[in-house]
Structure formats: C-alpha cells, structure tokens
Structure 1
Amino acid sequence: MEQKTISIEVREKAGKGVARKLRAQGRVPGVVYGKGIEPVAISLDEKEMLEAIAGEGGCNVLFTLQGGESLNGVTAMVADVQRPSLRLGLTHVDLHKVSLTDKVRVHVPVAIVGTAAGVREGGLLDVVMHALDVECLPTAIPERIDVDVTDLALGHAIHVGEIALPAGVKVLDDPKASVVSILGRAKEEAPASAEG
C-alpha cells in the first residue's frame, strides 16, 4: 500500500460554528488519536482527502501527516469518515495513528476476476461478501483481494478459506463462509409430448 502525504492544521477551537467556517473554506474538521498521543483536533483540505481515499485502497490508505509540531511525520489511517446527507463531500474525518511495525485490522474489498463456468451455463453469480476483514502490517494492506471465479460451476461456491492471500495477510472472517456462489440449476430437457 502506498503512503501519501497530507497537510493538516491543528485546531485550537471546536464547535459547530468553527466547523461551519472550516467547511466554507473547503476544509474538513477532524481528529487524530492513537497509541501514545492525546487526541488532537485538526483540519485538512477536503478535496485533497477525497482524492486520497477515492482510489482502490479507499480508506485503507496510509498517510504521513505534514503540519502541526506534535503530528509532523506521524503515520495515520482513516478510522472514520462522516459524509453529508445531501451533497458529496466530507463533514468530519477521524485519523488513527499507526505504527508500521504493529499489525492492524482492516476491511479489504473483494474483486471478482473472470467469467464463471456456471454463468456461461445460465447460472447467476451471487457475491455474498464484498469485503474481507484482514490483519496485517500497515505496509502489507492489499488494495483488493482477487477471487478468480473462472472454474466456478453451477451450485458451487468459493469460501473464505479457499482464497489465496498475499504474504503476511491473515483473514479474520469464518473460513467456511461463502464469498461468491453460482445460483441456478442446469436446464432440464423438455418432456417429450405424448402421442395420441
């Protein structure tokens, strides 16, 4: 997972009025917290943050914070994002300080690869899990986990325990849980019409 630099400013004041003024300036209020630091109120550029989390890694992007004496150079990940209900954008961002040597737990999107044999036979592809919970070092977080369905036949499924994972990544979901399956059954031959 690539690491991106994001500029932050430490906020001295909090409250709805301050947050409203920040948003009017194209900035988003937020907080940085984590092991070894007291929570720090910050603001950051909304457009810069939206672009950073819009890629395949989504909210699993690693950030190097720039700005604010106590936070300059700190590595963080998005812990929570609040979005407005009536427009695109962000209303608040929580960043969690992480250590590059300590494992983290994250959701990683599942990407379906190939066309299933069962779909070619008339079945329906049913994606049950769109993301997997994994544990790994922050630098080993995959952008996505590919699930190849090419050989998946009608009435069959691929389970969590059958998915090949990158080195250093441990899945936390139930190994017996279905990730994707093919619904439907083979076409039956029409019965021969009775001669009379």
Structure 2
Amino acid sequence: MQQKTISIEVREKTGKGIARKLRAQGGVPGVVYGKGIEPVAVSVNAKELAAAIAGEGGRNNLIALQGGGNLNGMTVIVADLKKAALQGTFISVDLHKIDLDAKVRVHVPVSVVGTAAGVKEGGMLDIVMHSLDLECLPTQIPDHVEVDVTALAIGHSIHLGDLTLAAGVKVLGDPKASVVSIHGKAQETEVGAEAEAE
C-alpha cells in the first residue's frame, strides 16, 4: 500500500458559504476524526487530495497529514469523499485517523490475470465480483487482489475460499461465493441438442 502526504489547515469557520468560498479557491472542506480525538474541521488542497488517492490504491492509500497543529504527522485514510455529479470536483472529504496496529476493513478491487482455458474452448468469462471486502492491518492493505483464471474450465468457478492472500489479510464474505466463473459452450451445446431433438 502506498503512503501519500497532504497538507491541511484547521478551519475556524464552517458553513455552506465558507465551504463554497473554499472550493472556489481550490480547497476542499473536510473533517478529521477517529478514536481518541474530537472531530476537527479542516481544509485540504484539491490537487493534493487528487494526487493522494491516485493510482491503484485509490482511497485505501495511507495519508500522512502535514500542518494542522496537533494533526501534523497523523496517518489517515479517506473514509468518505463526495464529488459533484457533473463537474467531478470534490465537494467534501472525511479523513479517518487510523491506528497502524489495529485492523481495518477495506474495499479492494479484483485484478483478473491470465486467459482461462474455458475461454479458449469458447466459453465466456463472468467476473462476478469486481471488488472484495478485506480485513487487515493498514500497512497490509493490498492495491488489488490478483485472481489467476488460467486453469479455469467451462462450468467452473473460483470462490472466495479459493483465494490466496498474504498472511494477516482476511477476505470477508461467504467462502462459497463465486468471484469469477466460466459460462457458455456447455450450456449452448445442451440447448442445441434439445432443439435438435424437438
């Protein structure tokens, strides 16, 4: 997991008017909260925020805060991020203070690699889960979970319980739930045989 840095300023004033003015100046109104601290209203530079969540890790990137008095040096993660529907600009951000020694639950994308044997036989790859919920220490958060489908045949699936993850990383959900499956040729042949019989 990547470590990023953003500079922040504590906001003395809050409200919609202040927030609009802040966004017009290239800032993003936000709040820093977490165990052991009172929520603190802050402003974040929009460009720095965009850079901090860029790349594979996205919103799971660990972020070190610079400035903000007592918040300086604190490690946070983006807990919530609101964007304008049309412009795509940031409206507000919630930064959650994290304990590097305490496990967190995160949403991580799935990266499918390889060409499935079933696809070569005419089957169709069905990616059922494009992301997974994981539980691990903040320093163990993977950028993605790689799923190798090379040996996957028609009519077969890779389930949550089949995934191999790094030590200390736990996938959440039903172990029997399918992550990827191969459909197609077997069903088509069966339908074709039925039609021929009729």
- Category of TM-score, reference length = shorter chain: over 0.9
Post-superposition offset of 1:185:
2.4
Equivalent residue, structure 2, for 1:66:
66
When the two structures are aligned, how many residues end up with a matched partner?
191
Equivalent residue, structure 1, for 2:105:
105
Structure 2: gaps of 5 or more residues = 194-198
Distance 2:129 2:2 in 1: 25
Once the two structures are superposed, residues 39-86 of structure 1 have per-residue CA deviations (whole angstroms, 9 ceiling, x without a partner) of: 000010111111221210010000111111120111100000001011
Equivalent residue, structure 2, for 1:5:
5
Distance 2:126 2:2 in 1: 31
Distance 2:149 2:181 in 1: 9
Q: Percent identity?
A: 68
Structure 1: gaps of 5 or more residues = 192-196
Distance 2:105 2:189 in 1: 47
Q: Indicate if the aligned counterparts of 1:50 and 1:89 stay in contact, CA closer than 8 A.
A: no
Equivalent residue, structure 2, for 1:194:
none
Q: Pairwise CA RMSD of aligned residues?
A: 1.4
TM-score for both structures, normalised by structure 2:
0.93
Post-superposition offset of 1:147:
0.2
Runs of 4 or more above 6 Å deviation: none
Higher helix share: 2
Distance 2:142 2:112 in 1: 15
- Letter of the structure 1 residue corresponding to residue 30 of structure 2: G
Post-superposition offset of 1:89:
2.1
Q: Indicate if the aligned counterparts of 2:28 and 2:43 stay in contact, CA closer than 8 A.
A: yes
With over 3 angstroms needed to count, the CA separation of the structure-2 counterparts of 1:151 and 1:27, relative to structure 1, is same
